[in-house]
Amino acid sequence: MNDKIRVGLIGYGYASKTFHAPLIMGTPGLELAAVSSSDETKVKADWPAVSVVSEPRHLFNDPHIDLIVIPTPNDTHFPLAKAALEAGKHVVVDKPFTVTLSQARELDALARSTGRVLSVFHNRRWDSDFLTLKALLADGVLGEVSLFESHFDRFRPQVRDRWREQGGPGSGIWYDLAPHLLDQAIQLFGLPVSMTVDLAQLRPGAQSTDYFHAILSYPQRRVILHGTMLAAAESARYIVHGSRGSYVKYGLDPQEERLKNGERLPQEDWGYDMRDGVLTLVEGETRKEEKLAYVAG
């Protein structure tokens, strides 16, 4: 008897190759049973023992597959997740869950009616820098937080020929990067009272959003979420100001880069961010600055 959850992975593009396949293989209790892909050679080069099928429907129809993972172009999330649920599978969908609210509600209702588990893949909940910040706020070290800034800035001035940068539903960095920042903000502070968002296409020839600036309003707090493809200078990843002090963190959690370089889990030093954030605390006339040790991701 196989006591592992057998996973069917749809597609083998960047997200599947970099994140999903290695994380599935490195997670106790999970087994990557099959991948649907038009490029069997690419899959087999990484995972020789994994079965490869030509179409997602073969995964849906396989009685030995328990869970379907969907890291495909954003506008395909809804039809694929719906088909998987209708086939009786549990489903994990990469962010963004769907490209419309009505689609999300329909999938939620379908999962409830079929008794299947339906979840969204939010890998950056386990970033070392976010877990460190989460612990810092939970301990009340900064006091009452009045301003929180979270940045996902890059320097890619040339528009690339890939689906994320083409026009159409679910394209652009508001759908690609902002879900990470939105999810983290809601994890920390809950739902805002209101949100104002500025979206733009700033690069010559851009067909989709390549800039966003969102302000989430809370009664005694403002949360700023910012992303751009035109930031050559390094921006802080987090800037947090509270009634007792501030916290500033530069650099991005290294797990994606390590996975992209072909490293595999488990490893003893996995999930450690080597760039400490700076904590500044003020008590009376005394100002103390120190590096904050990170929490492993």
What residues does each domain of the chain span? Answer: 5-121, 124-292
For residues 35-58, average pLDDT: 97
pLDDT at 229: 96
CATH topology of domain 124-292: Dihydrodipicolinate Reductase; domain 2 (3.30.360)
Regarding predicted confidence, which is higher, 267 or 160?
A: 160
pLDDT at 120: 98
Superfamily of domain 5-121: NAD(P)-binding Rossmann-like Domain (3.40.50.720)
Nearest-angstrom CA–CA distance, 145 and 257: 31
pLDDT at 272: 73
pLDDT band at 162 (very low <50, low <70, confident <90, very high): confident
Question: CB pairs under 8 A, 24+ apart, for 268-275?
Answer: 270/296, 270/297, 271/126, 271/128, 271/296, 271/297, 272/128, 272/296, 272/297, 273/127, 273/128, 273/129, 273/132, 273/297, 275/249, 275/250, 275/251
* 274 pLDDT above the threshold of 80: no
For residues 139-165, average pLDDT: 94
pLDDT at 252: 87
DSSP E strands: which ranges in the chain?
Answer: 5-10, 30-36, 51-53, 67-70, 90-94, 118-121, 145-153, 194-200, 211-218, 221-228, 236-242, 245-250, 277-283, 286-292
Asked if the domains at 5-121 and 124-292 fall in one CATH topology, the answer is no
* 61 pLDDT above the threshold of 60: yes
Polymer length of the chain: 297
Q: In what order do the strands lie in the sheet with 211-218?
A: 194-200, 211-218, 221-228, 145-153, 236-242, 245-250, 277-283, 286-292
For residues 258-264, average pLDDT: 87
Pairing of strands 30-36, 277-283: unpaired
pLDDT at 293: 74
pLDDT band at 233 (very low <50, low <70, confident <90, very high): very high
* 239 pLDDT above the threshold of 70: yes
Q: What is the pTM of this model?
A: 0.91
pLDDT at 263: 86
The residue assigned the tokens 């080597």 is: 274
pLDDT band at 192 (very low <50, low <70, confident <90, very high): very high
pLDDT at 114: 97
Alpha helices in the chain (DSSP H): 14-15, 21-25, 40-46, 56-60, 77-86, 101-114, 128-138, 173-176, 178-189, 255-260
* 1 pLDDT above the threshold of 70: no
pLDDT at 197: 98
* 168 pLDDT above the threshold of 90: no
pLDDT band at 38 (very low <50, low <70, confident <90, very high): very high
pLDDT at 111: 99
pLDDT band at 279 (very low <50, low <70, confident <90, very high): very high
For residues 225-248, average pLDDT: 97
